[in-house]
């Protein structure tokens, strides 16, 4: 028998008490747009716009994180949505304690929720399925009615987004479309990545509930035992109006994201589980370090505040679900066992609505290919947005690591670790191999060897010649989609204890200059690696032959471009990858084919690296 769901009205956040009246009026206006179906009084709240988060709140049984039956494993909430064009989506739900646990640290309550980001304006209809039974949450179907909101229906109206590009809420979800570049659904712009691979334990932050170093002094880096992030140097980057929780917590991590976005970066790599032998042993989703079936509602709601801010800033969530030390430990095996299923479901239910997100099956992953395929298929079955999936390689193994999963419909991208002088060749070859296998991959470079160095601080390497030339431009000119920078453990602000992203301020600038060149001057989605056209071995070439060419001269100087039968004429302009800025002229401003022709030389700093744009 169904029970009528009751309104569950959230209290004002403690940090927002000054806005209580305005917030209440806004909530009334929002709720007034909801058109409820029979036997339903569920709360639908949010801004009710395309590409903005909408949350549907249901009342279920009064339970706790530690209750029996287990609210995470023995209940399953799913909501089926039907959109204005008749499209349907099935959203996995989650137990939310009191519905505002980020502010209250609650571990009990009667609130279940789903989070949703609509892609079309108009009326959306929903129907809830709320079932119970042993292990029902790790099954995609089945279970018996739990009563309460089971079978409830309703509808709500979504308006067009009030944001314009380049705002993230105008771009829409980042999706795989079968090409070598991810694309934003709203604007159809293609994505190039530049961001932070370190600290990998980004979420090991002292202001987050139930977060501490669980095994101080015994991880891979015993010299930093007992450490938690505070991001104190970035508190100054927090701005009035930015989110906090519990009377002002969170300013350090929110400020850090603000800084990174201000440098033009758009991606952060982070682990969600590093217990059971991991490097940091300070990041987990559960209520206790020894618990694997019950999740910490307040901690995960505080993560959600951080992730919401990343959406606002246009920063992709690179969600790394495990690491090499523990990928055989969760649930006692490497495969899709019940504990790993439960973990994945909670991740997808709580966080898949974020606009730009990529699932990573694990850092330096050791999982057998058959298990990787099964896990990826399970994620895709749960994820209503079909976010891309990747898996991170061991160092310098990219060209063999992916052999068993190329062409598999569960995977869309690489996550390459290795020495940077390999980046261009790996990008070029894996791009072609994936296409040959029938499923074009997006080629990302996500960790730079050696582990002791990676990208070192500006103070130790102010020019960053190797990362810029070999890693950044190597990947992009090989047809890759960009990089995240790893910080080696022999230097300050390393992969586990980085507190200040300003330690690599110059590297962020140089990354931005490269991305700007590709976005402003190149139709890169229509181009391909073409190094043989640029003659000299040390040069990179990227081309849409006969129309436009980009040449990267790693060591300056000049080269010849093989125009083959293309006559032109073609303009020749130069771009400084070290400082950015406008295109400038070199000693030759126009060339014509056919055959091999000199592109000239830069008028300034001719012995340094340059990018050359040759176009009609």
Which among 77, 64, 56 has a CA at the least distance from the CA of 7?
56
Q: Strand 144-145 vs strand 122-132: parallel, antiparallel, or unpaired?
A: antiparallel
**pLDDT per residue over 128-185, tens digit each?**
999 999 999 999 999 999 999 999 999 999 999 999 887 889 999 999 999 999 999 9
Instruction: Please state which of the ranges 18-27, 285-294, 465-474, 578-587 shows the lowest mean pLDDT.
Output: 18-27
| Confidence bin at 282 (pLDDT 50/70/90) | very high
**pLDDT per residue over 223-249, tens digit each?**
566 799 999 999 999 999 999 999 999
* Cα 473 from Cα 482, distance rounded (Å): 9
Q: What percent of the chain has pLDDT over 70?
A: 92
Average pLDDT over residues 337-352: 99
Does the 14-158 domain belong in CATH 3.40.50.720?
Answer: no
**More confident of the two residues 336 and 23:** 336
Return all residues near 256 (Cβ < 8 A) that are at least 6 apart: 231, 234, 237, 501
| Helix (H/G/I), strand (E/B), else coil: 114 | strand
CB burial readout 244-254, b (16+ within 10 A) else e: bbbeebbbbbb
| Confidence bin at 537 (pLDDT 50/70/90) | confident
| Helix (H/G/I), strand (E/B), else coil: 275 | coil
Burial, 68: exposed, middle or buried (Cβ in 10 Å; 0-12, 13-18, 19+)? exposed
Average pLDDT over residues 85-92: 97
pTM over 0.85: yes
One of 3.20.20.80, 3.20.20.70, 3.40.630.40, 3.40.50.300 is the CATH number of 168-525, namely 3.20.20.80
Cβ atoms 154, 208 nearer than 8 A: no
At 284 the pLDDT is 98
Average pLDDT over residues 336-356: 99
**Radius of gyration, CA atoms only, the chain:** 25
Q: In 399-500, which ranges are E strands?
A: 416-419, 445-449, 482-485
At 224 the pLDDT is 60
403 sits in the region (left: phi over 0; alpha: psi -120 to 50; else beta) called: alpha
Cβ atoms 494, 487 nearer than 8 A: yes
At 165 the pLDDT is 80
**pLDDT per residue over 401-458, tens digit each?**
999 999 999 999 999 999 999 999 999 999 999 999 999 999 999 999 999 999 999 9
At 53 the pLDDT is 98
Q: Which residue has the tokens 């008028």?
A: 603
Q: Which residue has the tokens 């032959």?
A: 545
pLDDT value at 369 more than 50: yes
At 223 the pLDDT is 53
* Cα 615 from Cα 602, distance rounded (Å): 17
What distances in angstroms separate CA 214 from CA 202, 217, 232, 281, 413, one per listed residue? 16, 9, 22, 6, 33
* Cα 265 from Cα 509, distance rounded (Å): 9
Instruction: Please state which of the ranges 35-44, 113-122, 303-312, 333-342 shows the lowest mean pLDDT.
Output: 35-44
């Amino acid at each position: 028998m169904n029970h009528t769901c009751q309104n569950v009205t959230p209290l004002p956040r403690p940090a927002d008490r000054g806005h209580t009246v305005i917030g209440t009026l806004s909530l009334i206006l929002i709720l007034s747009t909801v058109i409820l179906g029979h036997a339903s009084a569920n709360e639908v709240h949010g801004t009710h716009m395309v590409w903005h988060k909408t949350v549907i709140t249901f009342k279920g049984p009064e339970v706790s994180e530690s209750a029996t039956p287990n609210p995470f494993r023995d209940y399953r909430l799913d909501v089926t949505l039907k959109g204005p064009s008749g499209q349907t989506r099935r959203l996995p739900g989650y137990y939310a304690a009191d519905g505002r646990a980020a502010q209250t640290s609650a571990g009990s309550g009667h609130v279940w929720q789903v989070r949703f980001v609509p892609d079309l304006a108009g009326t959306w209809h929903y129907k809830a399925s709320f079932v119970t039974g042993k292990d029902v949450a790790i099954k995609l179907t089945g279970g018996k009615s739990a009563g309460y909101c089971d079978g409830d229906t309703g509808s709500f109206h979504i308006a067009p987004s009030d944001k314009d590009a380049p705002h993230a809420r105008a771009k829409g979800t980042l999706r795989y479309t079968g090409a070598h570049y991810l694309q934003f659904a709203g604007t159809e712009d293609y994505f190039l990545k530049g961001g932070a691979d370190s600290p990998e334990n980004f979420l090991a932050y002292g202001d987050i509930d139930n977060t501490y170093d669980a095994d101080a002094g015994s991880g891979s880096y015993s010299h930093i035992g007992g450490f938690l992030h505070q991001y104190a140097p970035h508190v100054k980057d927090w701005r009035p109006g930015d989110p906090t929780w519990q009377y002002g917590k969170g300013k350090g991590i929110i400020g850090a994201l603000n800084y990174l976005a201000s440098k033009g970066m758009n991606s952060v790599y982070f682990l969600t589980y590093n217990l059971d032998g991991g490097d940091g042993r300070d990041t987990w989703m559960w209520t206790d370090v020894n618990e694997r079936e019950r999740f910490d509602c307040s901690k995960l709601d505080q993560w959600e505040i951080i992730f919401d801010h990343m959406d606002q800033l246009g920063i992709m969530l690179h969600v790394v679900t495990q690491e090499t030390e523990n990928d055989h430990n969760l649930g006692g095996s490497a495969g899709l066992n019940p504990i790993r299923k439960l973990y994945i479901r909670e991740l997808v239910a709580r966080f898949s609505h974020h606009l730009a997100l990529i699932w990573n099956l694990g850092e330096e992953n050791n999982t057998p290919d058959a298990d990787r395929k099964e896990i990826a298929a399970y994620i895709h079955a749960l994820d209503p947005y079909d976010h891309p999936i990747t898996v991170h390689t061991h160092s310098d193994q990219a060209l063999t690591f992916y052999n068993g999963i190329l062409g598999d419909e569960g995977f869309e991208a690489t996550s390459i670790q290795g020495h940077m002088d390999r980046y261009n060749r790996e990008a070029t070859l894996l791009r072609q191999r994936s296409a040959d296998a029938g499923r074009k991959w997006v080629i990302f470079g996500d960790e730079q060897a050696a582990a002791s160095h990676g990208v070192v601080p500006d103070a130790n390497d102010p020019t960053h010649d190797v990362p810029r030339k070999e890693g950044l431009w190597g990947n992009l000119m090989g047809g890759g989609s960009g990089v995240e920078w790893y910080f080696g453990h022999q230097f300050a602000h390393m992969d586990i204890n980085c507190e200040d992203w300003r330690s690599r301020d110059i590297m962020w600038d140089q990354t931005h200059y490269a991305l700007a060149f590709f976005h402003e001057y190149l139709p890169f989605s229509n181009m391909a690696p073409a190094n043989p056209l640029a003659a000299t071995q040390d040069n990179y070439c990227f081309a849409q032959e006969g129309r436009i060419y980009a040449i990267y001269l790693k060591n300056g100087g000049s080269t010849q471009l093989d125009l083959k039968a293309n006559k032109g004429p073609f303009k020749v302009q130069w771009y400084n990858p070290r400082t950015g800025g406008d295109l400038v002229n070199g000693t030759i401003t126009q060339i014509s084919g056919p055959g091999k022709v000199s592109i000239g030389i830069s008028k300034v700093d001719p012995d340094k690296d340059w990018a050359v744009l040759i176009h009609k």
